[in-house]
Amino acid sequence: MIRRFGRILAALALTAATTVVGVTLTAGAAHADGCYTWGRTLSQGMSGEDVRQLQIRVSGYPDYGTVLGLDGVFGPATRSAVIRFQQAYGLGADGVAGPLTFNKIYALQDDDCTPVNFSYAEWNRCNSDWSGGAVAATTARFNARVSMWKLQAMRHAMGDQLLQISSGFRSYACNNAVGGAANSRHLYGDGVDLVGSHSLCRLAQQARYHGFSNILGPGYPGHNDHTHLGNTPSRSWSAPTCGI
């Protein structure tokens, strides 16, 4: 979770433009960390694994009440999410993901592909291998990573203040031990419970802007002491005390 200062400086250095015979060339994506490096500028109409990797990192910037698809196709929704990400960090908001956008992502990312303010260890206090849930261990871990990027966006929108996780991934055994719902999103890896300095209602209300289709909070049975976020196939929001 510690930012690698040297890699960030190197990434920033590689964004400089070079002029060759009167033509300005923009440097390619910087090799900024050990996770993933983009090799081309991405814009609407393009597709590929590099687009999908971008979608994961901007999945916390969809429109209100929507979820950004991770299909590897750079469509209008992805462009809008990129624009919101760029606006959030004071970048030129043109919806095109180039070196400056990628370098900001690198600066927000640890070498295991998680955002700098969240980790697999705090998300999974159940077991060491992500097994025993409703999906394969690799899927649960991936789902957790996507939710972490959504939380990273939410954290930034809330003034970069701590978001405290009380529970993340659970196997069936761990879920049963705490009395979790039989269909809990914790079993899929994307479910997370938040407590801490922000009010529970503030957390639930803000989450509506960051790609969570499952929001349960105060006023919903069993959720007066935490706000639960997850990613159900269809929208499932209920926090009556908070007006949701």
* Catalytic residue numbers, as ranges: 223
d(CA 153, CA 175) in angstroms, rounded, equals: 27
Residues in the chain: 244
Beta bridge partners of 236: 214
DSSP element (H, E) containing 167: strand 164-167
- Is residue 221 a contact partner of residue 240, using CB atoms and an 8 Å limit? no
What is the three-class DSSP state of 136? coil
CA distances from 178 to 172, 173, 192 (A): 10, 9, 14
d(CA 26, CA 39) in angstroms, rounded, equals: 12
> Which residue type does 102 have?
F
What is the three-class DSSP state of 18? strand
d(CA 43, CA 79) in angstroms, rounded, equals: 7
d(CA 116, CA 106) in angstroms, rounded, equals: 10
Q: Which of 183, 184, 171 is nearest to 141 (CA)?
A: 171
